[in-house]
Chain A
Amino acid sequence: MFLEKLVIAIGLVLANVITGSGLFEIGGVNPDFILIFTIFFALRRGAFAGIWIGFFGGLLTDADIGLVVDPTGAETAKIGLHALAYSLVGFGFGRFLKNIYRESWAAATLVVLVGGFLARLLVYMNYNFFWGDIAGYSLLPTAAYSAVLAPMFFYSLAWLYKMEDPGEGF
Chain B
Amino acid sequence: MLSDFLYRNKTGVSLVFCLTFSIVSMAWKGNGVSRLLVGVKNLGTGVSSAFTGLGQSVRGLWNSLEDYQNVLERAEALQKQLKQNDTLLADYKKLQSENQRLREELDFKPRVDYPTVRSEVLAVRLASIYKTIIIDKGGDHGIKPFMPVVGKTLVSGLDPKTGENRKYIVEALVGKVISVDSGNSVIQPLINHEFRAGVRMPGTRLWATLDGNSERPLQPVLRYISSFVTLNSDKARLPVVTSGKGGIFPPGILVGRIARDSLGKGAKVDLGHTGFKTAYIEPFIDIAALDTVVVILKKPHAWARKWPASKEVKAGQPEMGKLVVPDFSASELPGTSQYLQYLPGVLAEQKEMLQKKAEEKKKKWLAKQKAKKKSQPKQNQPGDSGQEPDEFTDVYLDEGPATNPGGPGGQPEPGTVGNPGGSPNPGGTANPGGASPDSGNQKKPGGAPGVNNNPPGGNQVTPPGNEKKTATPKPSTGKSPSPPPAKKEKPAANNNPAPDGGGP
Q: Which residues of A contact B (CB under 8 A)?
A: 19-20, 22, 25, 28, 30, 46-48, 51-52, 54-55, 58-69, 71-84, 87-88, 91, 95, 123, 126-127, 130, 132-138, 168
Contacts and interface: CB of A to CB of B under 8 A. Distances in A.
Contacts of A133: 193, 213
A19 B317 CA distance: 36
Given A28-B218, A69-B318, A84-B18, A79 B34 contact: yes
A69 B318 CA distance: 10
28 contacts: A51-B11, A51-B14, A51-B15, A52-B14, A54-B18, A58-B22, A62-B37, A64-B128, A65-B128, A66-B42, A66-B179, A68-B178, A69-B146, A73-B317, A73-B320, A75-B35, A76-B30, A79-B22, A79-B26, A80-B21, A80-B34, A83-B25, A84-B19, A87-B15, A130-B29, A133-B213, A136-B193, A136-B215
B119 interface: no
Contacts of B288: 22
Interface string B54-76: 00000000000000000000000
B126 interface: yes
Contacts, number: 160
A125 to B, nearest CB: 11
B125 interface: yes
Nearest to A134: B193
Interface residues of B, number: 55
A71 B129 contact: no
Contacts of B34: 77, 79-80
Given A79-B33, A79-B34, 12 more contacts: A47-B15, A63-B37, A63-B41, A65-B130, A66-B42, A69-B179, A75-B35, A76-B30, A80-B25, A87-B15, A95-B11, A134-B193
A20 B38 contact: no
Contacts of A135: 193, 213-215
A78 B318 contact: no
Contacts of B158: none
A33 to B, nearest CB: 10
A83 B322 contact: no
B41 A83 contact: no
B19 A64 contact: no
A67 to B, nearest CB: 5
Given A130-B26, A135-B214, A136-B216, A67 B318 contact: no
B127 interface: yes
Contacts of A61: 128
Contacts of A95: 11
B315 interface: no
B281 to A, nearest CB: 14
A136 B213 contact: yes
Given A80-B25, A91-B11, A136-B215, A25 B18 contact: no
